Amino acid sequence: MADTFPPDLLDAQLRLHRARAEYQAFCRTLPWSVVPAKGWPGEIHPHTGVVTGGRADSPGYTEEQLMENARWRELQLELSTQVSTHPHWATLEGEAVVKARMALKHHPDAVPATAEPALKAA
């Protein structure tokens, strides 16, 4: 059956979902440029005076932010490799592989229900 997955595969997919979500949240906290960069002014609407667009200067990433970014990327690569090279896929053929991979991404046991962290502090 396509929606019966080994527990270690479900766990890897769950951890991958969590890692991606946490990485996206982490990225939202970062400056807009990796290296220090000059910003630019926004445009003033001629009738309302509202300023749109523009960016403040970016201080660039700190050494800590660069290291944390690398940790998240490494974890996601490791987990996606675990999922995509799992021996379970060799038990399926043709379209069944594609359907099973899609089913895994939405399997109730592989979708985060809690805020358990994907990346443990080192």
Range of the domain at 16: 7-33+59-110
Q: Domain count of the chain?
A: 1
24/42 Cα distance (integer angstroms): 26
Note the pLDDT of residue 116: 57
Note the pLDDT of residue 111: 82
Q: Has residue 47 been placed in a domain?
A: no
Note the pLDDT of residue 112: 80
Q: Has residue 118 been placed in a domain?
A: no
* DSSP letter string, 38-97: --B--EEPTTT--EES-B--B----HHHHHHHHHHHHHHHHHHHHHHT-GGGGG--THHH
Q: Has residue 121 been placed in a domain?
A: no
> Which parts of the chain sit beneath pLDDT 70?
1-3, 114-122
- Cα–Cα separations (whole angstroms), residue 122 to 15, 44, 94: 17, 47, 41
